C-alpha cells in the first residue's frame, strides 16, 4: 500500500557555513567552507516522504526569483507534485543561514519570505486533493492560520493531520482541535506544555495535556534516547539507532516525512513506523546537507536488515 501525503510547509534555500566552533557574541571567526542546498522544514519532510515511497504533494509558496525556480525543480526531481505551490510576486523565496560545527551540531537563522506571507484561503478549496490523501503534515515555518484552514478541510475528508510544532511557539487552541498527531522534540514539548520531561510519568502528563486539547496521539523525539509515543491504545519508547553524526540538519524533518510514508492512518503500526523513521533519520545525520542527506526507502530498508 502506498501512502498519499500532502505537506503544507516551508521552502528554503539553505546556505551552510562550516566552522570548527560557534562564535562567541561579538566574535568574528573564519568559515572553512560554504555550501548551498535546497531545504526548508516542509520541503525536507516532503522529500523524505517521497523518497520512502509516498505519493507526495506540496502546498506552499516561493518567490518569483531564481531561488524559487531552483526549489521547484528540486521538488519535481523528487517526484513531488508542485502544482499547489504559489508564486509570490512580492516576497522572496525563503532562505536559511546554517552554521555547522566540527561536532555536527548546528544553529540556524531563517528568513521566512514567501513562506510567512501565505494567507488563509489562498489555496482555495482543496477537497478534491484531500479526498485522496492519507496524511496532511504542517510545521511552524508557515502561518498557523493557513495550517488551520487546511486542517479543517482535511478533517472533512477523513485525513489524518500531523503537526510538527517546530520552531516551537504558542499554538492556536483551535489548531490543536483539528490535529490528530503532534510530534515535537523534547525541548519543544516542554516549551509548549510547561512540563519538564524527566521520566515516563512526565511524558504521559504531556500526552494528557495535548489530549485535553483535542490531540489523540503524541510523539516526542528524544534525540539519541529514541522516541516516546502515547496513543489511546498504549505508550512506549522506541530506542534510537547509535551512529556518529556529522550534520544534524534535517534529521527531524526526515523522521516526520519517513514516518508518514509508512504509518497507517489509525497508527496501528506505530512502533514499526517509528523504528523505520528513526533509521531514516540516523542515515540523514551521517551525511552533509539538508535535502541531499535524506535517504531513499531502499537505503533505509537495507540499513534495517543489517541490524
Task: Give residue-wise pLDDT tens across range 81-133.
Answer: 999 999 999 999 999 898 999 988 888 898 999 999 999 999 999 999 999 99
Residue of higher predicted confidence among 108 and 192: 192
DSSP 91: S
Q: What is the pLDDT of residue 290?
A: 79
Helices (H), 83-143: 114-117, 127-130
pLDDT tens across 217-264, in order? 999 999 889 999 999 999 999 999 999 888 887 899 999 999 999 999
Which one from 65, 134, 149, 253 is the annotated catalytic residue?
A: 253
Q: What is the pLDDT of residue 292?
A: 87
Are 250 and 260 spatial neighbours (Cβ–Cβ below 8 Å)?
Answer: no
Q: What is the pLDDT of residue 293?
A: 93
Annotated binding site for substrate: 12-14, 40-44, 141, 253
pLDDT tens across 155-168, in order? 999 999 999 999 99
Residue of higher predicted confidence among 31 and 108: 31
Cα 235 from Cα 86, distance rounded (Å)? 40
Cα 236 from Cα 275, distance rounded (Å)? 12
If phi > 0 it is left, if psi is from -120 to 50 it is alpha, else beta; for residue 44 that is alpha
Task: Spell out the domain ranges in the chain.
Answer: 4-23+32-305
Cα 307 from Cα 168, distance rounded (Å)? 34
Q: What is the pLDDT of residue 105?
A: 87
Annotated binding site for ATP: 185, 221-226, 252-253
Pair type for strands 160-163 and 135-138: parallel
Look at residue 205 and tell me whether its pLDDT is greater than 80.
yes
Please tell me the CATH superfamily of domain 4-23+32-305, with its number. Ribokinase (3.40.1190.20)
Look at residue 143 and tell me whether its pLDDT is greater than 80.
yes
Bridge-partner residues for 33, per DSSP?
18
Cis amide leading into 167 (omega within 30)? yes
Cα 163 from Cα 307, distance rounded (Å)? 30
Burial class (CB in 10 A: 0-12, 13-18, 19+), 37: buried
Cα 111 from Cα 25, distance rounded (Å)? 21
Annotated binding site: 12-14, 40-44, 141, 185, 221-226, 247, 249, 252-253, 284, 287, 289, 293
Cα 11 from Cα 75, distance rounded (Å)? 10
88 catalytic? Reply is no
Cα 153 from Cα 147, distance rounded (Å)? 10
pLDDT tens across 2-20, in order? 999 999 999 999 888 999 9
Cα 254 from Cα 220, distance rounded (Å)? 15
Q: What is the pLDDT of residue 247?
A: 81
Look at residue 195 and tell me whether its pLDDT is greater than 90.
yes
Look at residue 289 and tell me whether its pLDDT is greater than 80.
no
Annotated binding site for K(+): 247, 249, 284, 287, 289, 293
The DSSP string of 199-224 is SHHHHHHHHHHHHHTT--EEEEE-GG
Burial class (CB in 10 A: 0-12, 13-18, 19+), 27: exposed
Q: What is the pLDDT of residue 295?
A: 96
pTM of the model: 0.93
Q: What is the pLDDT of residue 35?
A: 87
Q: What is the pLDDT of residue 222?
A: 94
Residue 296 grid coordinates: 531513499
Amino acid at each position: 500500500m502506498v501512502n498519499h501525503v500532502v505537506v503544507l510547509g516551508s521552502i528554503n534555500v539553505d546556505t551552510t557555513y562550516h566552522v570548527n566552533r560557534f562564535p562567541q557574541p561579538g566574535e568574528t571567526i573564519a568559515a572553512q567552507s560554504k555550501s548551498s542546498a535546497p531545504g526548508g522544514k516542509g520541503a525536507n519532510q516532503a522529500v523524505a516522504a517521497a523518497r520512502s515511497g509516498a505519493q507526495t504533494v506540496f502546498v506552499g509558496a516561493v518567490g518569483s526569483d531564481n531561488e524559487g525556480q531552483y526549489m521547484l525543480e528540486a521538488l519535481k526531481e523528487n517526484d513531488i507534485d508542485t502544482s499547489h505551490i504559489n508564486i509570490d510576486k512580492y516576497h522572496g523565496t525563503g532562505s536559511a543561514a546554517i552554521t555547522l560545527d566540527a561536532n555536527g551540531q548546528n544553529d540556524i537563522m531563517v528568513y521566512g519570505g514567501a513562506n510567512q506571507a501565505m494567507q488563509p484561503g489562498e489555496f482555495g478549496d482543496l477537497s478534491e486533493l484531500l479526498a485522496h490523501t492519507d496524511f496532511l503534515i504542517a510545521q511552524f515555518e508557515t502561518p498557523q492560520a493557513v495550517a488551520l484552514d487546511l486542517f479543517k478541510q482535511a478533517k472533512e475528508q477523513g485525513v489524518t493531520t500531523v503537526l510538527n510544532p517546530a520552531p516551537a511557539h504558542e499554538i492556536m487552541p483551535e489548531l490543536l482541535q483539528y490535529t490528530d498527531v503532534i510530534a515535537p522534540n523534547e525541548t519543544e514539548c516542554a516549551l509548549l506544555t510547561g512540563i519538564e520531561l524527566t521520566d515516563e510519568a512526565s511524558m504521559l502528563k504531556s500526552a494528557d495535556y495535548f489530549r485535553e486539547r483535542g490531540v489523540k496521539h503524541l510523539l516526542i523525539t528524544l534525540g539519541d534516547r529514541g522516541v516516546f509515543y502515547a496513543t489511546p491504545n498504549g505508550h512506549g519508547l522506541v530506542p534510537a539507532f547509535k551512529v556518529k553524526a556529522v550534520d544534524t540538519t534535517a534529521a527531524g524533518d526526515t523522521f516526520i516525512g519517513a514516518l508518514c510514508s509508512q504509518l497507517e492512518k489509525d497508527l496501528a503500526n506505530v512502533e514499526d513506523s517509528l523504528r523505520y523513521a528513526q533509521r531514516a533519520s540516523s542515515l540523514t545525520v551521517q551525511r552533509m546537507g539538508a535535502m541531499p542527506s535524506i535517504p531513499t526507502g531502499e537505503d533505509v530498508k537495507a540499513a534495517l536488515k543489517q541490524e
